[in-house]
Amino acid sequence: MEILLNGERHNLPEGRTISELLAELELSPDVVSVSLNGTVLKKEEFDGTVLQNGDAVEIMLFMGGGI
């Protein structure tokens, strides 16, 4: 199946969850925010949210820093 991941096409096996996608990308759920089709998901939803063909996923990383 194909999803739009941060604006780029990305192929995944059927049945992939948000948690599995993050693991594949080597991203910790503790340092990201995920939007699925324009709706920001809670971390508790990552395991149970199965991606569908055509979904638009935006993954935003939290960055620390300052002066």
DSSP-H helix ranges across 1-67: 18-24
Q: Is residue 20 part of a domain?
A: yes
pTM: 0.90
- Domain range enclosing 52: 2-61
Residues 6+ apart with CB under 8 A from 67: none
Question: In the chain, how many domains are there?
Answer: 1
Residuewise pLDDT in 10s, the chain (67 residues)? 999 999 999 999 999 999 999 999 999 999 999 999 999 999 999 999 999 999 999 999 977 666 6
The enclosing domain of 50 has a CATH number of 3.10.20.30
Q: Is residue 13 part of a domain?
A: yes
